Homo-oligomer: A and B are copies of this chain.
């Protein structure tokens, strides 16, 4: 089970370059349920996510590089590319800050994953977070894959 909240960003945090950064590319074969392939640096994964917002059933399964590119050919709509910064927060949390590349280069989203729904609801966001978009389907990456996003 994946429990996470998602936010728009007011401004970038200081010293972004000091955090770990992953180059992510992902593509969708299905959006309901989500069946997604992802390249994360040199790791290749098939992901399944059930429908939902705050909590979703999620499975991550390894792919070879060849099977990734084979399945990527079968994807629908936009391939999503982004730089993900991993920012430690509040002793035991990690903010995943996604800076999207074309065709969504104006979009920035922060996600935080939690151990429980209680912890998710109690979360106090930092100053640089803006609107909570956890329950907005238009900020699901699967939705972006099927639409051009105009900010």
Which of these binds chain B: A16-24, A25-33, A82-90, A116-124? A25-33
A71 to B59, CA, bound (A): 18
Q: A61 to B74, Cβ gap below 8 A?
A: no
* Complex Cα spacing A62 to B62, Å: 19
Interface residues on A, range: 10 to 19
Residues of B within 8 A of A63 (CB): 30, 33
> How near does chain B come to A56, taking the closest CB pair, in angstroms?
12
Do B32 and A64 touch across chains, with their CB atoms under 8 A apart?
Answer: yes
For residues 9 through 45 of chain A, which have their beta carbon under 8 Å from a beta carbon of chain B?
29-30, 32-33, 35
A-B pairs with beta carbons under 8 Å apart, 21 shown: A29-B29, A29-B71, A29-B74, A30-B63, A30-B67, A30-B70, A30-B71, A32-B64, A33-B62, A33-B63, A33-B64, A33-B67, A35-B46, A35-B67, A35-B71, A46-B48, A48-B59, A48-B61, A50-B62, A59-B61, A74-B74
